[in-house]
Structure 1
Amino acid sequence: MKVVCVGGGPAGLYLSILLKLADPSHDITVYERNPEGSTYGWGVTYWRGLFDKLQMHDPVSARAIADHSVTWNEGVARVRDQVTRHRGDQGFGIGRHRLLELLAARTRSLGVHLEYAHEIDADGPLPEADLVVAADGVHSALRTRHAEHFGARLTPGRNHYIWLGTSKVFDTFTFSFVETEHGWIWAYGYGFSPERSTCVIECSPETFTGLGLDRADEADGLVLLEKLFADTLDGHALIGRAPADGSSPWLHFRTLTNRTWHRDNLVLLGDAAHTTHYSIGAGTTLALEDALALAGALRDHTDLPQALAHYERARKQELLPLQSAARHSAQWYENLTRYIDLPPEQMFALLGQRHSPLLPYVPPQLYYRLDRAAGRLEALRRLKRWLGPKLARVTD
């Protein structure tokens, strides 16, 4: 099969790896509009569950990714001058640049053709292929060609956010909430290398304009943010990356959905098909899982329309709970004042429960007590299941 993948991000590169491993005779070309090594962003996160899937399907790339990742298993929340720590699942951080380097090297080793600085726009001709994969992001040119067919819908969030780097190396996933005279502003920080961390900063529109961030240039904005988060950064600098087109580095997150994901031999992958709010840290994971699902559908169904339909059905179904979780997580931050004055351990517990569809409708302290009670009951059930066979052996 001849495959053309438009977009050299994690989804497109990993799909190419999987297809080549399944059948080395596939003729696969990846077109990326940007020069090699010019990727945007800082670090990305993933979790143990994704690593296990990568290890199962391609141990070579999985090991390379793990070897260049940093890990954590704690979360820290800073609210005013109080700090709360909680144990959590094992998390991983890796530089986006490094991740793409590793995946590109693996694709080349398998015989995939990579064409950088090669843009395929919304009006130009498509390369001839049996399968064309649109992995060209949320602003997908290929999806735009058939906008009415795909039925794309973009829903903007309320808050402003900015994606930054820092020389402060966080050894845990860190949440930091700072109160200003214009309202709250907060940061998510996590390491992605021994020298760097990602720092995403978010605030409401009222705080954004009140602090003057809407009027500050990039340098002045970074100075202000460094002062606000001085305790969290321990005196380290924030590092910006101004957009090439001169637009503001501050963004509104936009949730993308599509009515359908395929048309003839064209199929959407990763951010071209869907986005989920960054506060659940699932963007890269979902892109790679899309690639796993599409490769599996193509392996199991020799008929291309049937394979693409199966891929779309399966992924849409799997995404439903994650999209719901992301929507409620974004809303939790948009309604931060509802939770921020709780005792620190309660606030952090509800931060961990922000994906719950019930939380917005139950008084926060009542929800906390109910959740604690449910946890104790589940612990008793697990203890009973564990003791049952042992007590039976003793009585025998």
Structure 2
Amino acid sequence: MKVACVGGGPAGLYLSILLKRRDPSHDITVHERDPEGSTYGWGVTYWRGLLDRLHEYDPESARALEEHSVRWSEGVAHVGEVATRQQGDEAFGIGRHRLLEILAARARSLGVRLEFEHGITDANVPAADLVVAADGVHSTLRTRHADHFGTEIRTGRNRYIWLGTTKVFDAFTFAFVETDHGWIWCYGYAFGPERSTWVVECAPETWTGLGLDEANEPDGLALLEKLFADVLDGHPLIGRTSARAGAQWLNFRTLTNRTWHRDNLVLLGDAAHTTHYSIGAGTTLALEDAAALADALGAHSALPQALARYERERKAQLLSPQSAARYSAQWYENLPRYIHLPPDRMFALLGQRHSPLLPHVPPQLYYRIDRAAGRLEAMRRFKRWLGPKVARTVQARALTSRE
């Protein structure tokens, strides 16, 4: 089979690795519009469960990924001058550059062709048995057929910016700072021995009130360093180094598609779906997409059946994380509802922000109920079950309203 993968991010590279491992005779080319080694972002996070699955699919790349990752198992939340720390699941961080280096090297070792600085447009779509659109949320190939795919984008309310810092955190770190214009907060996590990711978020009125909407990048970074001085311990914040990227404050765009394939074209990763960054699942879901597509192609010789199976299985598996991401984003958009709780309770509900029950129960009452029921496995199963059920109900209502 001849495969053209458009986009050299984690999803496209990992799919090429898995397909080549299954059948070295596959003719696979990854087309990436940017130069090799140039990428956005700082570090990405993932959890032990993903690493275990990667070891099953390709032990060599999984070992390299684990070797170059940092890990932590605690979270700490700073609210004003008070900090609280809690034990959590084992988590990992790795620089996005390093992740792509590992996957690109592994793909090349298997015989995959990587063509950098090779953008794909309407005029030069590669001739192939399978064309994979792994070119991100702004996918050119998906946009060509947006009506067919049923692309929908929902823009979040809050503003956020993706930064780095030389402060190396020993735990996943949250910090909430109150200003005269409202609360502003950050998520910080290490991805190497010298760097951490630093994502800052705030409501739009806080963003404009602090003047961040008009500040140039140096002035904006200086203000953020002052606001988060107690957590940064004198370390600087670092903006994006790409010449085409300034101080980019964004609104998160949640993207969904009614269908994920058209003839021999299939969507992968962020081209197919996005989930709010606050659950730290973007890279995990992209790699899982690649594994599911490789499995489907291996199980069916006929392409239509393989793509249908891939879409069906991944849509079902995404119901839970998409529900979690939606409620997580809403938690932060309604931060005043929780921020004045005692710090240990606020942090506990921060950990419960994925729950579909939390927005409908008074926070103090929810905390007491959750603490009392925390050891009851039946309650845990109910909460895990309810998230996808709520997601299905929302989707059904949306379809009905469109009809």
Name the TM tier (shorter chain): over 0.9
**Structure 1 Cα separation of the partners of residues 79 and 306 of structure 2:** 49
Cα deviation, 1:159-197, whole Å, max 9, x if unaligned, reads: 000000000000100000001111000000000000000
2:200 matches 1:201: yes
Aligned counterpart, 1:322 = 321
* Conservation of the 8 A alpha-carbon contact between 2:240 and 2:247: no
2:128 matches 1:120: no
Aligned counterpart, 2:282 = 283
| Shift in Å, 1:270 | 0.1
**Structure 2 Cα separation of the partners of residues 127 and 337 of structure 1:** 51
RMSD, aligned CA: 1.4
* Conservation of the 8 A alpha-carbon contact between 1:55 and 1:63: yes
The share of aligned pairs that are identical, in percent, is 77
Cα deviation, 1:19-65, whole Å, max 9, x if unaligned, reads: 00000000000000000001111000000000000011110000000
Aligned counterpart, 2:264 = 265
| Shift in Å, 1:125 | 2.6
TM-score for both structures, normalised by structure 1 = 0.94
**Structure 2 Cα separation of the partners of residues 280 and 296 of structure 1:** 26
2:380 matches 1:372: no
Cα deviation, 1:123-159, whole Å, max 9, x if unaligned, reads: 2131110000000000000001111101111100000
Q: Aligned to 2:314, what secondary structure does the other structure show? A: helix
**Structure 2 Cα separation of the partners of residues 374 and 34 of structure 1:** 51
| Shift in Å, 1:297 | 0.2
Aligned counterpart, 2:24 = 24
Aligned counterpart, 2:353 = 354
Cα distance change of structure 1 residues 246 and 58 upon mapping to structure 2, 3 Å threshold: closer
Alignment of structure 1 residues 1-396 onto 2, 5 Å: 1-121=1-121, 123-241=122-240, 244-245=243-244, 248-378=247-377
**Structure 1 Cα separation of the partners of residues 301 and 88 of structure 2:** 42
Cα deviation, 1:313-353, whole Å, max 9, x if unaligned, reads: 00000001110100000000000000001011110000000
* Aligned partner letter, 1:78: H
Cα distance change of structure 1 residues 67 and 275 upon mapping to structure 2, 3 Å threshold: same
Cα distance change of structure 1 residues 11 and 377 upon mapping to structure 2, 3 Å threshold: closer
**Structure 2 Cα separation of the partners of residues 160 and 116 of structure 1:** 32
* Aligned partner letter, 1:76: V
Q: Relative to structure 2, which stretch is displaced further, 144-153 or 5-14?
A: 144-153
* Aligned partner letter, 1:225: L
Q: Aligned to 2:374, what secondary structure does the other structure show? A: helix
* Conservation of the 8 A alpha-carbon contact between 1:243 and 1:249: no
How many positions carry a matched residue from both structures?
380
* Aligned partner letter, 1:48: R
Q: Aligned to 2:100, what secondary structure does the other structure show? A: helix
Runs of 5+ consecutive residues of structure 2 not aligned to the other structure: 381-403
**Structure 2 Cα separation of the partners of residues 207 and 154 of structure 1:** 24
* Conservation of the 8 A alpha-carbon contact between 1:173 and 1:189: yes
Q: Aligned to 1:161, what secondary structure does the other structure show? A: strand
| Shift in Å, 1:243 | 6.0
Q: Aligned to 1:252, what secondary structure does the other structure show? A: strand
**Structure 2 Cα separation of the partners of residues 86 and 68 of structure 1:** 25
Runs of 5+ consecutive residues of structure 1 not aligned to the other structure: 382-396
* Aligned partner letter, 1:370: I
Cα distance change of structure 1 residues 246 and 63 upon mapping to structure 2, 3 Å threshold: closer
Q: Aligned to 1:322, what secondary structure does the other structure show? A: helix
TM-score for both structures, normalised by structure 2 = 0.93
Cα deviation, 1:214-255, whole Å, max 9, x if unaligned, reads: 011000000000000001101100000166446651010000
* Conservation of the 8 A alpha-carbon contact between 2:239 and 2:247: no
Cα distance change of structure 1 residues 314 and 83 upon mapping to structure 2, 3 Å threshold: same
Q: Aligned to 1:199, what secondary structure does the other structure show? A: strand
**Structure 1 Cα separation of the partners of residues 90 and 244 of structure 2:** 38
**Structure 2 Cα separation of the partners of residues 244 and 161 of structure 1:** 20
Q: Aligned to 2:54, what secondary structure does the other structure show? A: helix
| Shift in Å, 1:209 | 0.5
* Aligned partner letter, 1:82: V
* Conservation of the 8 A alpha-carbon contact between 2:69 and 2:192: yes
| Shift in Å, 1:376 | 4.0
| Shift in Å, 1:375 | 1.3
* Conservation of the 8 A alpha-carbon contact between 1:218 and 1:242: no
* Conservation of the 8 A alpha-carbon contact between 2:70 and 2:191: yes
**Structure 1 Cα separation of the partners of residues 17 and 258 of structure 2:** 28
* Conservation of the 8 A alpha-carbon contact between 1:77 and 1:348: yes
* Conservation of the 8 A alpha-carbon contact between 2:15 and 2:294: yes
